[in-house]
Amino acid sequence: MATALRSPAIGSSLSRVDGRLKVTGQAVYAAEHQIPGVTHAALLQAEIAAGTVIAIDATAALRLSGVLAVISHQNAPRLAPVDDAELAVFQSPAVAYRGQLVAVVVADSLEIARHAAGLVAVEYDARPHDVLLRPDHPGIYRPDKVNPAYPTDTEQGDADAALAIADIVVDETYETPAVHNNPMEPHASLAVWSGGDLTVYESTQGAADTRDALAELFELDPGAVRIVSPHVGGGFGSKGKARPQIVVAALAARVVGRPVKLALTRREMFSLTGYRTPTLQRLRLGADSDGQLRAIVHDVLEQTSTISEFAEQTATATRMMYAAVNRRTTHRLLALDVPMPSWMRAPGECPGMYALESALDELAIACRIDPIELRIRNEPAVEPETGKQWSSRNLVACLRDGAARFGWADRDPTPGVRRDGNWLVGTGVASSTYPTYRSGSEASVHADPDGSFTVSVCGADIGTGARTVLTQIAADSLDAAPDRIDVELGDSDLPRGPVAGGSMGTGSWGAAVVRACEALVAKLADLGGVVPDAGIDASADTAAEVAALPKLARHAFGAQFAEVRVNTMTGEVRVPRLFGMFAVGRIINPKTARSQFIGGMTMGLSMALFEQSLLDREFGDYLNHDFAQYHVPTCADVLDIDAAWVDERDDRLNPMGTKGIGEISIVGTAAAVANAVHHATGVRVRRLPITPDRLIG
316: enclosing H helix or E strand: none
d(Cα 75, Cα 16) in Å, to the nearest integer? 47
> Binding of another protein at residue 603 (CB under 8 A)?
yes
| Distance of closest approach, residue 101 Cβ to another protein, in angstroms | 15
> Of residues 288, 412, 479, 640, which one binds another protein by CB under 8 A?
640
**Residue number with CB closer to another protein (211 or 467):** 467
| Distance of closest approach, residue 581 Cβ to another protein, in angstroms | 16
The residues that are catalytic are 663
Strands 168-176 and 279-287: antiparallel
**Residue number with CB closer to another protein (230 or 278):** 230
Backbone angles phi, psi at 563, to 5 degrees: -115, 130
Cα distances (Å, whole numbers) of residue 51 to 78, 126, 268, 351, 430: 21, 4, 20, 32, 45
Backbone angles phi, psi at 404, to 5 degrees: -65, -45
Binding mask 247-266 for another protein (x = CB under 8 A): ----------------x-xx
d(Cα 619, Cα 242) in Å, to the nearest integer? 27
> Binding of another protein at residue 63 (CB under 8 A)?
yes
d(Cα 507, Cα 437) in Å, to the nearest integer? 8
| Distance of closest approach, residue 282 Cβ to another protein, in angstroms | 31
Spatial neighbors of 591 by CB under 8 A, at least 6 apart, are 13, 14, 15, 16
Stretch that binds another protein, among 179-187, 517-525, 529-537, 687-695 (CB under 8 A): 179-187
d(Cα 64, Cα 68) in Å, to the nearest integer? 9
| Distance of closest approach, residue 418 Cβ to another protein, in angstroms | 22
**Residue number with CB closer to another protein (8 or 118):** 118
d(Cα 248, Cα 321) in Å, to the nearest integer? 43
| Distance of closest approach, residue 585 Cβ to another protein, in angstroms | 21
**Residue number with CB closer to another protein (103 or 227):** 103
**Residue number with CB closer to another protein (123 or 647):** 123
**Residue number with CB closer to another protein (234 or 416):** 234
398-423: burial string, b at 16+ Cβ within 10 Å, e else? bbbbbbeebebeebeeebeeeeeeeb
> Binding of another protein at residue 123 (CB under 8 A)?
yes
Stretch that binds another protein, among 232-240, 296-304, 407-415, 545-553 (CB under 8 A): 232-240
Helix intervals (H) in 100-206: 110-117, 159-165
d(Cα 77, Cα 72) in Å, to the nearest integer? 9
Ranges within 403-442 binding another protein (CB under 8 A): none
> Binding of another protein at residue 333 (CB under 8 A)?
no
> Binding of another protein at residue 62 (CB under 8 A)?
no
d(Cα 91, Cα 77) in Å, to the nearest integer? 8
**Residue number with CB closer to another protein (15 or 570):** 15
d(Cα 303, Cα 636) in Å, to the nearest integer? 34
> Binding of another protein at residue 600 (CB under 8 A)?
yes
> Binding of another protein at residue 592 (CB under 8 A)?
yes
> Binding of another protein at residue 201 (CB under 8 A)?
no
> Of residues 99, 347, 402, 463, which one binds another protein by CB under 8 A?
463
Backbone angles phi, psi at 232, to 5 degrees: -130, 125
**Residue number with CB closer to another protein (109 or 422):** 109
> Binding of another protein at residue 689 (CB under 8 A)?
no
> Binding of another protein at residue 94 (CB under 8 A)?
no
> Binding of another protein at residue 192 (CB under 8 A)?
no
DSSP-derived 3-state class of residue 361: helix
> For residue 421, which amino acid is it?
G
| Distance of closest approach, residue 131 Cβ to another protein, in angstroms | 16
> Binding of another protein at residue 672 (CB under 8 A)?
no
Stretch that binds another protein, among 4-12, 157-165, 182-190, 385-393 (CB under 8 A): 182-190
357, 417, 413, 577: CA torsion to nearest 10: 60
Stretch that binds another protein, among 190-198, 336-344, 591-599, 647-655 (CB under 8 A): 591-599
| Distance of closest approach, residue 246 Cβ to another protein, in angstroms | 18
**Residue number with CB closer to another protein (96 or 447):** 96
> Of residues 236, 406, 423, 582, which one binds another protein by CB under 8 A?
236
**Residue number with CB closer to another protein (4 or 184):** 184
> Binding of another protein at residue 140 (CB under 8 A)?
no
> Of residues 435, 482, 599, 689, which one binds another protein by CB under 8 A?
599
| Distance of closest approach, residue 342 Cβ to another protein, in angstroms | 17
d(Cα 247, Cα 278) in Å, to the nearest integer? 28
Binding mask 614-633 for another protein (x = CB under 8 A): ------------xxx---xx
d(Cα 430, Cα 664) in Å, to the nearest integer? 12
Stretch that binds another protein, among 43-51, 249-257, 308-316, 556-564 (CB under 8 A): 43-51
Ranges within 497-516 binding another protein (CB under 8 A): none
> Of residues 234, 440, 535, 692, which one binds another protein by CB under 8 A?
234
Q: Is 452 left (phi over 0), alpha (psi -120 to 50) or beta?
A: beta
> Cα(first)–Cα(last) distance of the chain, in Å?
59
Ranges within 13-42 binding another protein (CB under 8 A): 15-16, 18-29, 31-32, 34
**Residue number with CB closer to another protein (21 or 382):** 21
d(Cα 445, Cα 478) in Å, to the nearest integer? 10
> For residue 478, which amino acid is it?
L
| Distance of closest approach, residue 593 Cβ to another protein, in angstroms | 10
d(Cα 55, Cα 568) in Å, to the nearest integer? 56
Closest CA to 587 of 505, 652, 659: 659
Ranges within 100-119 binding another protein (CB under 8 A): 109-112, 115, 118-119
Stretch that binds another protein, among 309-317, 335-343, 555-563, 595-603 (CB under 8 A): 595-603
d(Cα 394, Cα 557) in Å, to the nearest integer? 7
Is there a cis peptide before residue 148, judged by omega within 30 degrees of 0?
yes
> Of residues 4, 161, 184, 522, which one binds another protein by CB under 8 A?
184
Is residue 677 within 8 A of residue 612, CB to CB? The reply is no
